[in-house]
Amino acid sequence: MRNVVIAIALLLVVVAAGAIVSGGLVWGRLHEPYKGYAGAAQFVVIAPGTGTAAIGRVLVGRGIIRDDVAFRAALWWTGRSRELQAGEYRFDRPLAAVDVVERLARGHVYARALTFPEGLTIHEMAAMYESRGFGAAARFIEAAANASLIRDLDARAVDLEGYLFPDTYALPRETPASRLIAMMVDRFRAMYTDEWRRAAEEQGLTTRQVVALASLVEKETGKADERPIVAAVYRNRLNIGMGLQADPTVVYALQKAGRYTGNIRRDDLALDSPYNTYRHAGLPPGPIAAPGAASLEAALTPAHVSYLYFVSRNDGSHAFAQTLAEHNRNVREFQILYFRR
């Protein structure tokens, strides 16, 4: 009898020891960082509707988690088996199985940054969208034709030219162009505040007119201190019925006609387009590019100056003038003589 008791006791010790060892192994698989892939980083795409078991196979197959036991143990430990989210994930360092599961449960998908600088047209943005590998330019242009996204602010809009706010956007790899376009319009709405809308109404300007004027400012100068002055020049011309004669509007008209070659020739100034402000008085019929916040603000709060003219100094700045005679002197100095030298 005594031998039986001793045998049972030994068996219990062995079982307990085995449980401890087994538990230790499971604990190690749960919490020990693991990296089973070559290279600095590994991308994993979880398609929508993928089941938990299939997700585990993908993670194990890509070297993110050691094995299926570790994956199933991590699901049990975290209690997140029903919360794993689809998307593209980037792994660039060893991670414990529980940390991998938590990342998928939180939906921390990989996002790439796409930056649109100020002053781009829809077609220029589309080309950048495609060149950075986010999708076809045609899809971007198609999505940017959805003027309904801005209809409450601009009933005359036929597309979203001027309303795709220039900024940096973090995008998962499979983000459709329509989603990006909606994000850009939302950013414009956030920047074009109620205060600016009230200011426009008080000045007798529509949102479309403000954005059109701001787009001219954006295309004419990149200097912060010049934006309110350039806006003032155009506002002064509008106030006295003087033509704007803005070169960027000619460029835009040529682009729309498929005729722009990188330079404006003298006969281009006669192009019959409503966007050509050498031929048609007043603002162009719509924005010619996407203005940033500073240019929008300048359009609404121009400088208190009486300038009617400006010309490039060829260093990024401009010479401003009140009279045509003064302007002609500036043109001679900064254009004619400058290029002769």
Domain regions of the chain by residue span: 27-109, 112-191, 202-307
Per-residue pLDDT, 224 = 95
Strands 168-172 and 111-115: antiparallel
Q: 97 with 56: CB under 8 angstroms?
A: no
Dig out the tokens for 214 from the structure.
């701001």
> Where are any strands of DSSP class E within the chain?
42-46, 87-91, 111-115, 168-172, 309-312, 318-321
Task: Decide: 68 and 56 in contact? Cβ < 8 Å.
Answer: yes
Q: Cβ-count burial of 261 within 10 angstroms (0-12 exposed, 13-18 middle, 19+ buried)?
A: exposed
Q: Which residues contact 286 (CB under 8 A, 6 or more apart)?
A: 156, 157, 158, 161, 162, 208, 211, 212
Q: How confident is the model at residue 29 (pLDDT cuts 50, 70, 90)?
A: low
Confidence at residue 13, expressed as pLDDT on a 0 to 100 scale: 41
Position 14 pLDDT exceeds 50: no
pLDDT at 144 > cutoff 70: yes
Q: Does position 8 have pLDDT exceeding 80, yes or no? A: no
**Residue 21, token pair as written in the block:** 């060892």
- Of 327, 321, 317, nearest in space to 305 by CA: 321
pLDDT digits (tens, 9 = 90+) for 237-249: 999 999 999 999 9
| Confidence (pLDDT) at 16 | 42
Which residues are CB-neighbours of 246 under 8 A, at least 6 positions away? 216, 219, 220, 234, 277
pLDDT of residue 173: 72
Q: For all residues of the chain together, what is the average pLDDT?
A: 89
Mean pLDDT of 73-100: 90
Contacts of 9 (CB under 8 A, 6+ apart): none
Q: Does domain 27-109 have CATH number 3.30.2130.10?
A: no
Place of tokens 């019959």: 272
At 97, the pLDDT band (50, 70, 90 cuts) reads: very high
Q: Report the percentage of the chain scoring pLDDT > 70.
A: 90
Residue 41 predicted with pLDDT over 60: yes
* pLDDT band per the 50, 70, 90 thresholds, residue 6: low
